[in-house]
Amino acid sequence: MPVAAPPSLARLASRVDERLDGLLTAERERWAAFDPELAGPIEEIHRLVLSGGKRLRPAFCHWGFVGAGGDPDDPLVVDAGAAFELMHAFALFHDDVMDDAASRRGVPTTHVVYAAEHQAAGWSGESRRFGDGVAILVGDLAFVYADQLMAGAPPAAWVIWNELRVELNIGQFLDILGSVQRVRDVTKAERICRYKSGKYTIERPLHLGAMLAAPVTGQRLLPGLSAYGLPLGDAFQMRDDVMGAFGDPALTGKPVGGDLREGKPTPLLARAVAAATAGQLAVLDRVGTPDLDDGDVAEIQQVIIATGALDDLERHIESLTCLAIAALDDVDLDPAARRELAELAGYVSRREL
């Protein structure tokens, strides 16, 4: 059953949202004064980062910071949380181009918005190439703003920040490569799952928060935080994969069965392929083919259920969550941080959005 978000998540999110709104509003005004057309790219960042989102990365960063002895009211950790949201936005802008996604959170994606503007104005060149180019630049701009917010971080935190960004890009490459190679191996799919999302959503924010608070203490805490963060990060992304295959479009803001249409190399699909009969494999082989309609998606969904893959993955998610929560007993954290991290574990692995 879905688990409600811990009350602290909304409180932390409001602080991060205020910081993001202040930064992006000031930047939009600054550049619009130079040239009114420059307001648009910054408005796109503002639109994406303030259109919702659970603020999980800022929350894990915050509790890593508090867990290592940091002051929960320190603006440094708010800046770091806002930086995570902008870095995530960078990945989403680029991801939407790579996946040719028409919508995100129920509204047109940036490359679609700018392609339509190009076409309506009758500008020279290809509308699609223009839209893709603008979205890539907007993502790059979000990446720069994220770095600006990290300006006050100590060198030890920058080591973590740089490494997590490398890992994110490695994961994105593995994801698009796995899609075109039609990876259906469970081990490879779980590695992609970890690097494209799990590590930079949970483990690395915890690491960064701890190193922001106290580099010496933080360094000592890193192995224990990984023992919690890695299995929970895997569970988080596997829950995402379930929603990507079965999620309600009204909640996800994406077409039904989006991951099935795109041929994403997920642990869910890999499990289904491993357990499928010859007839079921023929249906699963249609995953990722162009122009799947809703009927095709429904048939693929039924095969995934019939193979037992969905139930198997649900059990694995629960096992990973229990492993993560148990690992907290061996980490020398502030008690409040330990309680919040246990609550967050239940939420991220059982959420429905």
- Strands of the chain, DSSP E: 103-104, 107-108
Structure-token pair, residue 21: 């709104």
Instruction: Quote the pLDDT of residue 61.
Output: 98
Task: Tell me if 101 sits within 8 A of 115, measured CB to CB.
Answer: no
Does 155-343 match 1-152 at the fold level? yes
Task: Tell me if 303 sits within 8 A of 297, measured CB to CB.
Answer: no
Domain boundaries, the chain: 1-152, 155-343
Long-range contacts, stretch 101-108, CB < 8 angstroms, 24+ apart: 101/254, 101/258, 102/255, 103/253, 103/254, 103/255, 104/48, 104/253, 104/254, 105/48, 105/51, 105/52, 105/253, 106/253, 107/47, 107/51, 107/253
**pLDDT string in tens for the chain (353-residue length):** 788 999 999 999 999 999 999 999 999 999 999 999 999 999 999 999 999 889 999 999 999 999 999 999 999 999 999 999 999 999 999 999 998 999 988 899 999 999 999 999 999 999 999 999 999 999 999 999 999 999 999 999 999 999 999 999 999 999 999 999 999 999 999 999 999 999 999 999 999 999 999 999 999 999 999 999 999 999 999 999 999 999 888 777 677 798 999 999 999 999 999 999 999 999 999 999 988 999 999 999 999 999 999 999 999 999 999 999 999 999 999 999 999 999 999 999 999 87
How far, in Å, CA of 198 to CA of 163, rounded? Answer: 14
Q: Which of 198, 157, 174 is nearest to 64 (CA)?
A: 157
Annotation: CATH topology of 155-343: Farnesyl Diphosphate Synthase (1.10.600)
What is the value of pTM for the model shown? 0.96
Q: pLDDT tens, 250-260?
A: 777 677 798 99
Annotation: CATH topology of 1-152: Farnesyl Diphosphate Synthase (1.10.600)
Task: Tell me if 57 sits within 8 A of 161, measured CB to CB.
Answer: no
Burial string for 2-39 (b: 16+ CB within 10 Å, else e) reads: ebebbebbeebbebbbebbeebbeebbeebeeeeeeeb
Task: Tell me if 28 sits within 8 A of 141, measured CB to CB.
Answer: no
